[in-house]
Chain A
Amino acid sequence: MINNLNILLPEIFLTLSIFSILMIGVFIKNSFNLIFNLTSLIILLTIVIILNNPSSVEKIFLESFTRDAFSNFFKILILISSLFVLNSSKNFILDKKLAKFEYPIIVLLSILGMFFMVSSNDIILFYLGLELQSLALYILASIDRDNLKSSESGIKYFVLSALSSGLLLYGCSLLYGFTGSTNFELIANELSKENTGAVFAMVFILVGLAFKVSAVPFHMWTPDVYEGAPTSITSYFAVVPKVAGLAVLIKFMLIPFSKILMEWQTIIIFISIASMILGAVAAIGQKNVKRLLAYSSIGHIGYALAGVATGVISGYESAIVYISIYVVMNIGAFSCLYLLKKDGEYKENISDLSGISKKHPMLAISFLVILFSLAGIPPLGGFFAKFYVFTAVVEQKMYALAIIGLLTTVISAFYYLKIIKTIYFDASVISFDNTKNKFAQLSIFISCSILLTFFLYPSVLSNVVDTLFLN
């Protein structure tokens, strides 16, 4: 038993570090900077630990916890994206006076929750991980507690998310009742199409998961929370929980529900199409960049779900490639928002971007690259993400899904073009402060370089993803 604990090493390390820095925070005054830097260090160390962790399949604690290449990949993706999101938002946090020492600790706690989500092989462990993550996110959404909008978004997120967690839990208990087990593999063996109760359970679980990745029709919270929460939190919301949610969704299709894929697939196809259409249409009228990115993220989840909807390994792989590139694009997009500072105030309306190409050419060109990539125009990274997904979709002969999906890319291209139009074609009104936010600039640079050079060797990412499903 003790020997097996090294399988849990990343989680154990993370837990112990969280408690230690919590102590530091309690006993040392004004320790935000120290804790923030320690958090980055912990994230880096955890990445190192996971990389050194062999990726052979191991299951411990009555097979409730799995460590394999799949979970390791997602953990690393979660860590790297959190690292970039946190560090590029540091100046923002300081400027907005959000510099409470709990902030980075809560982020770490949500990461810990996600770790258990992606590693779980048992619905109880899965639910615990999900709740740990969600609770941390409720607090983060309302962290700017004196701001009406932030508190509102926190409450909204809490109420709706609690409801969805309840549904999910109800689904889990139904699943236990009808199959007599909480273990994923055992559930898979018991399930069949005739088991109507289990199909019900599946629907409830799917509702809960769709809420977490903000897929239509469970997306209502997304625009409000994205707009209301401070930008640093929004960027975290837009990136990291989506990765974990998608990982769990794929895992559910891979193991417990592998025998009732047909039922599951129909729902996902519907959710995917609805998300793509809503993400494309509802974003057109938006005036706030954060709100627009919220709708755009709904649309992007729709594309990733299109890959999941195929119900085959190549489809899941394409969804993972999609979400990875989505992470790169969104980190870049939000880092751009941190540079839109004027007299100590962060601008977030599209009209504020008017004509920034004249005074801030580098920022404008980065925004251009990221937006065209979000729209999926070749030769940028976003195109390859869509290409992989639609290749998998067409392979399964789901032509309608492919055609609807690609038509919505044209609609969504319209609102990305609208931002580009504001940046490049309109007259210049605001000249922003010259910020010294080095890390945000670095993450914009990295994000743009990845998107621009992705076409040179697109297989690099999918080769990694291919290895995740070998066992």
Chain B
Amino acid sequence: MDFPILSTLIFLPLVSSLFIFLSRGQNYNSAIYISLFSSLATFILSLFIWYSMDYASADFQFLEEQSWINDFIKFKLGIDGISILFIVLTTLITPICIISCINSVKDRVKEFLIAIMILETFMIGVFCSLDLVVFYLFFEAGLIPMFLIIGVWGGPKRVYSAFKFFLFTLLGSVLMLVAIIAIYWITGTTDVTQIYEIKIPKEYQNLLWLAFFSSFAVKTPMWPVHTWLPDAHVEAPTAGSVILAAILLKMAGYGFLRFSLPMFPLASEFFTPLIFTLSIIAIIYTSLVALMQEDMKKLIAYSSVAHMGYVTLGIFTFTKQGVEGSVFQMISHGLISAALFLCVGVVYDRLNSRMISTYGGLVNYLPKYSFLFIVFALAGLGLPGTSGFLGEFLVLTGSFQKNYLVAMLATFGVILGAAYMLWLTKRVIFGVTKNDQIKNLKDVNKSEMIMLGILALLVIFFGFYPIPLMETINVSVDNLINNYEIAVQTEGLN
């Protein structure tokens, strides 16, 4: 591939942010059109890449290499079946966020759009990079726009949340930076594909794995370092919550798949009990916490922690079902949690409250909204026929092959998930309308309908017909697990 298509994909939003910066006009129409247009162009470009890539090959495709830092670190990009899905998810969610901010962001719209577009660049970069330093660069750079999005456009406790988000993530990541530099001195390269082949010696693996884990655990987030997430979600503006839940959290899961598993197979095997324990605690404990929430956004945030628990559980089963289920779960959670946060955003724009007690009986006055909300709530609890079901089902199938106890405990989480989601629906959508303001509310408008409608269609479509996703990741996941098993068998003997 001669044309640097991945670089184009990465830097298109960045270039467009420059145009947004230069745009003029009273009501920011031109800025919104530019960002919408360019994010849609990015989306179409990513679809084109998805369409034109070869699923049958487990190799990295659309490779790009450029000498970068002193000839020893290369700016290397490339994608495989797993990363393309996250890229498409990113480019899909970004235009939806831009549509959502038409209704919800009133102040400094231009700056907001610039932040979103720059963030998109960094997010796509994370999923494309095949070099540890490039990955770290994009992974960390995303903190800056997100910090500003939470801090400038967030709710009343925004400063605390923004600081907590930034410092937690930074603290986790600096250890990963030490590990990346150490890997460079151990193997002589930071090129991921070369490290796969060189194989890091056994004695280093555990420490390096822990250093990467410290970063990914904060980002996932896993219990007990998940506490930044509810705060960040609650205070962030709607679009910020959507990006946070749909994409930023997936970076860590992707990181486990791309780095921890193939680079440190022995350590991954060694630390599996740790991951299982933390995942189970995340699934059960945070589901219980979610039950008690008064704030809708906080409830969804805790449910995200629980859902990400399934993801980490699935990845570390090292079975085909488990890993595929995790990837599927990440994509589907990306769609569902985005949609749920948008749903909260819709009513928040109207009544300025996220408290569950403010609402109740919405179904009588906002029928369309209620229908969509119920669809997403059911998808969130994993109802068969929605995409939420398949991910959890595959993860549980995978974990049953590994460990009965863990799988059983995880299954409890499904029941708890149904409990908090249904109870939320009951309190918000059904019941008696106590609040008089609700009677005057308008139902979803056109732009809200577009973004929620698209997400609803996708959630149901992938629930019934997951084959496009599965086909894309199939060979890459097979390859991942094969390499892992070979590594564990050969090196385990020594």
Contacts and interface: CB of A to CB of B under 8 A. Distances in A.
Given A406-B174, A406-B177, A378 B140 contact: yes
B71 A407 contact: no
A361 B114 CA distance: 13
A459 B68 contact: yes
A462 B144 CA distance: 26
Nearest to B152: A424
B64 to A, nearest CB: 15
B136 interface: yes
A377 B151 contact: no
Contact of A414 (B133, B158, B163): B163
A391 interface: yes
A403 B151 contact: no
A378 B167 contact: no
B185 interface: yes
A399 B174 contact: no
A457 B66 CA distance: 10
Name the residue in A361, A459, A462, A463 with the highest tally of chain B Cβ atoms < 10 Å from its Cβ: A459
Given A414-B163, A459-B68, A459-B70, A394 B178 contact: yes
B484 interface: no
Given A377-B143, A378-B140, A417-B147, A390 B69 contact: no
Contacts of B140: 377-378, 383
Interface class of chain B by DSSP: helix
A463 B158 contact: no
Interface residues of A, number: 34
A462 B71 CA distance: 11
B151 A458 contact: no
Interface in B28-43: none
Interface in B123-159: 133, 136-138, 140-141, 143-144, 147-148, 151-152, 158-159
A407 to B, nearest CB: 6
Contacts of A387: 69, 133, 177, 181
A387 B180 CA distance: 10
A383 B140 CA distance: 10
A263 interface: no
A181 B470 CA distance: 77
Interface size class of B (residues with CB under 8 A): 20 to 34
Nearest to A424: B152
Contacts of A13: none
Given A377-B144, A413-B167, A414-B163, A402 B68 contact: no
A459 B69 CA distance: 5
Contact of A410 (B68, B70, B147, B174): B174
Interface class of chain A by DSSP: helix
A421 interface: yes
Interface in A451-468: 455, 457-459, 462-463, 466
A390 B166 contact: no
Contacts of A379: 137-138, 141
A406 B141 contact: no
Contacts of B137: 378-379, 383, 455
B128 to A, nearest CB: 15
A421 B163 contact: yes
B175 interface: yes
A409 interface: yes
Nearest to A396: B185
Nearest to A391: B181
Contacts of A463: 70
Contact of A424 (B138, B151, B170): B151
B177 A425 contact: no
Contacts of A417: 147, 163, 166-167
A424 B111 CA distance: 11
Contacts of A377: 140-141, 143-144, 170
A367 interface: no
Contacts of B170: 377, 409-410, 413
A409 B147 CA distance: 17
Contact of A402 (B143, B158, B178, B184): B178
A394 B69 CA distance: 17
A462 B73 CA distance: 13
A73 interface: no
B171 to A, nearest CB: 5
A16 B360 CA distance: 86
Contacts of B151: 420-421, 424-425
Interface in A374-406: 377-379, 383-384, 387, 390-391, 394-395, 399, 402-403, 406
A413 B147 CA distance: 12
B408 interface: no
Given A394-B185, A459-B70, A378 B136 contact: yes
A463 B167 CA distance: 33
Closest 10 CB pairs of A and B: A406-B174, A394-B181, A378-B137, A459-B70, A425-B151, A378-B140, A410-B171, A378-B141, A379-B141, A458-B69
Interface of A: 357, 361, 372, 377-379, 383-384, 387, 390-391, 394-395, 399, 402-403, 406-407, 409-410, 413-414, 417, 420-421, 424-425, 455, 457-459, 462-463, 466
